[in-house]
Amino acid sequence: MVSRFRVGVIAGTHGLRGEVKVFPTTEDPRRFSDLEKVILVTGREERTLKIRSVKYFKKFVILGFEGMDRIEDVERLKGTELMIDRKDAIPLEEGEYFIPDLFGLKVVTDDGRELGVIKDVIETGANNVYDVQKEDGSSILIPAIPQCILSVRLEEGDMTVHLLPGLENL
């Protein structure tokens, strides 16, 4: 299982007091109000930043970090990712899963056929769609709806699905 989740990407600076504009990549951007810290990942280093202020502006979250009070302190952070540890993630309801935990799950039909593994999750307005890569390299798209997804067993590494008529021939 994944130990960290990305919650945002720094899009740029905001003002002169060391604040940054963050494009949220979390389902609920308001969750930043409950976070005490984030992990800044630059590609070369990781460091924990304590959040000192949170504001919301249009589609962005405006964050201020302790010890970074000037624009010069944050200019070089543009494009970096903000992560959180799994323990700081929003608790899930029964039947909900973190998308990164689904990647690589073996997908088996309710009649016992092995279809492949989940290589991507496509987020649509109505429901997510699982992109399952077959052994021959082709893909099958399976909607994440109760009629199709019968069980998800993260610990065992598999998912059982029911293919509605026509899904396999798309």
The answer as to CATH 2.40.30.60 being correct for domain 4-88 is yes
Region(s) of the chain under CATH 2.30.30.240 = 99-169
> Domain 99-169: which CATH class?
mainly beta
- Split at pLDDT 50, 70, 90, the class of 82 is very high
- pLDDT at 2 exceeding the cut of 80: no
Are residues 1 and 86 in contact, defined by beta-carbon separation less than 8 angstroms? yes
Q: What is the mean pLDDT of residues 2-12?
A: 91
Scanning 4-87, the segments in alpha helix (DSSP H) are 71-74
The pLDDT value given to residue 11: 95
Region(s) of the chain under CATH 2.40.30.60 = 4-88
Predicted model pTM: 0.74
The pLDDT value given to residue 105: 94
The two tokens of residue 106 are 């073996």
Q: How do 128-133 and 114-123 pair as beta strands?
A: antiparallel
**Quick one: what percent of the chain has pLDDT higher than 70?**
98
pLDDT digits (tens, 9 = 90+) for 27-70: 888 989 999 999 999 888 899 999 999 999 999 999 999 999 99
